[in-house]
Structure 1
Amino acid sequence: MSLTLFDLSGKTALITGSSRGLGRAMAEGLAQAGARIVLNGHNAERLQSAAEEMARAGAEVIVARFDVADEAAVVAAFEALDADGVAVDILVNNAGIQFRRPMLDLETADWQRVIDINLTASFVVGREAAKRMAARGRGKIINIASLTSELARATVAPYTVAKGGIKMLTKAMAAEWGEKNIQANAIGPGYMVTDMNEALLSNPDFDAWVKGRTPMRRWGLPEELVGTAIYLASDASNYVSGQVIYVDGGMVSVL
């Protein structure tokens, strides 16, 4: 198999929530594979800083600042890209938040906010991208799932439900859009060293639990998602659709 199958030259990838963390790592990795990158976030200063840093490293970067949970803003962002002649070949639905609270104390508004950003936004952004991909007869959608797409953990019920939904949304996308030559898959990260997990990383008991529960006995690093992202974004995965690939050090495979 030729490694040119993994070459993303000439492709444009939109990664939501890509000014930092897992999104930033995947954006940099896709750029190194040849893709032009559309960076997204809601913090203008952080987004611009990330874009400038990536550009200095040699990436071709476009900034698209919009809130993924605002449907009108998502539609307007895609219309703006259309007007600028930017066709999104690869979408990575990465934007997400976490909210930890026992269900008995959980307010409905907090539940809804997590569902809106982690699940509904992936549908809305995915729909807008897929409309354009379908018209061109090709496209790649990568949703970011989680270990909680398979397993529950106390105090993160809305996140667990949203990520379980991401697994099935991915399959629904594959079922409906496969005939349009759109492949939809998901990556399920394990416990990763990110800002979102800072409180867990600094908790000695939780740190020990993660390392004890993970066969590789360590946390994952954001850059360790890059190989899977490139594979799912490239022609190497043209007959792969509806799948979730767990990048978790083996955690989801063991009791």
Structure 2
Amino acid sequence: MTRFDLTGKTAIVTGAGRGIGKALALGLADTGANVAVVARTEADLQETVQAIEQKGGKAIPITADLTEAGAAEKVVGQTVEAWGSLHILINNAGMNLRKKAHEVTEEDWDRVVDLNLKASFFMCQAAGKIMCEQNYGRIVNIASVAGVVAMRTGVAYGSSKAGVIQMTRVLALEWSKFGVNINAIAPWYFRTPLTETLLKDEAYVQEILQRTPSGRIGDVEDLVGPAIFLSSDAAAYITGQTISVDGGMSIYGF
């Protein structure tokens, strides 16, 4: 359907070197977008760019640590310099530290919140300036079900992702009048390099599955459709919302 077609659109995907971000970058490129892929590791980015180009898409790598001052402006500036415009931002870069609350240090807290929430905001801000001026934009923030329901560990992570969800609402309230829609996706457990070790524990996997009505761990491809939808004109009347892509987990909590 043409409303899902992203041909001629320019997108930024952060954390695009592997896992969810790589899958989303490939998905946007498959739908016609030119994609600037962002991560800290150049080698990972080159693999993502190569995968996109092998399928006939267009991509550029931008190496950046988004927790550094000015990084967001740099990423947006390089994207616009390359393609002359910016229409879509996928804020995916993030991290987790699984610790009990009494074990979390100030350094732990800052590392998680600085990347998951602070960096995401300043990426929104840098992209939003351009999008509001051109009266068009789509921002998709990758949150988590941990920002919606309580988990036994990861207090900094859950707090940061709850912040991402509320940030999404506030920015939608401010910018939707300029044609800029901001939404979020809240995933549950997905098979990625970051969860690989955890998912080798069969007992842990079974505990997860008991709380997942769909009865399986998510595949990164399960996130591509929702991301394309929210990035497209098919979602023109949707803003400030968070879609849980969790196999039904948020029905139960964990």
Q: TM-score range by the shorter chain?
A: over 0.9
Counterpart residue number, 2:249: 251
SS at match of 1:88: coil
Greater displacement, 76-85 / 147-156: 76-85
Write the letter of the residue equivalent to 2:131. M
Q: Is the contact made by 1:71 and 1:124 (CA closer than 8 Å) also made in structure 2?
A: no
Q: Is the contact made by 1:67 and 1:74 (CA closer than 8 Å) also made in structure 2?
A: no
How far did 1:196 drift?
1.1
Q: Give the whole-Å Cα distance in 1 for the aligned partners of 2:115 and 2:106.
A: 14
Counterpart residue number, 1:208: 206
Q: Give the whole-Å Cα distance in 2 for the aligned partners of 1:25 and 1:77.
A: 20
Q: Give the whole-Å Cα distance in 2 for the aligned partners of 1:27 and 1:84.
A: 17
TM-score (norm 1): 0.96
Matches within 5 A, 1:98-247: 98-247=96-245
How far did 1:86 drift?
3.3
Q: Give the whole-Å Cα distance in 2 for the aligned partners of 1:226 and 1:102.
A: 32
Q: Give the whole-Å Cα distance in 2 for the aligned partners of 1:237 and 1:71.
A: 32
Write the letter of the residue equivalent to 1:9. T
SS at match of 2:182: strand
Q: Is the contact made by 2:99 and 2:153 (CA closer than 8 Å) also made in structure 1?
A: yes
Q: Is the contact made by 2:36 and 2:79 (CA closer than 8 Å) also made in structure 1?
A: no
Identify the match of residue 28 of structure 2 among 27, 30, 33. Answer: 30
Gaps of 5+ in 2: none
Counterpart residue number, 2:16: 18
User: Per-residue displacement from partner, 1:19-50 (whole Å, max 9, x unpaired)?
Assistant: 11001111111111111111110001111122
Q: Give the whole-Å Cα distance in 1 for the aligned partners of 2:188 and 2:166.
A: 18
Count of aligned residue pairs for this structure pair: 253
Write the letter of the residue equivalent to 1:186. A
Q: Is the contact made by 2:80 and 2:86 (CA closer than 8 Å) also made in structure 1?
A: no
How far did 1:149 drift?
1.3
Write the letter of the residue equivalent to 1:155. T
TM-score (norm 2): 0.96
Write the letter of the residue equivalent to 1:125. M
Q: Give the whole-Å Cα distance in 2 for the aligned partners of 1:79 and 1:194.
A: 30
Q: Is the contact made by 2:67 and 2:119 (CA closer than 8 Å) also made in structure 1?
A: yes
User: Per-residue displacement from partner, 1:153-177 (whole Å, max 9, x unpaired)?
Assistant: 1220100000000110000110110
User: Per-residue displacement from partner, 1:48-93 (whole Å, max 9, x unpaired)?
Assistant: 1221222112110111111111131222232233333432200000
Greater displacement, 217-226 / 47-56: 47-56
Q: Give the whole-Å Cα distance in 1 for the aligned partners of 2:44 and 2:61.
A: 11
Gaps of 5+ in 1: none
Counterpart residue number, 2:68: 70
Q: Give the whole-Å Cα distance in 2 for the aligned partners of 1:6 and 1:83.
A: 25
Q: Give the whole-Å Cα distance in 1 for the aligned partners of 2:244 and 2:153.
A: 22
Q: Give the whole-Å Cα distance in 2 for the aligned partners of 1:162 and 1:9.
A: 33
Q: Is the contact made by 1:114 and 1:162 (CA closer than 8 Å) also made in structure 2?
A: yes
Counterpart residue number, 1:39: 37
User: Per-residue displacement from partner, 1:206-242 (whole Å, max 9, x unpaired)?
Assistant: 1001111100111000001111011100000011000
Write the letter of the residue equivalent to 1:86. G
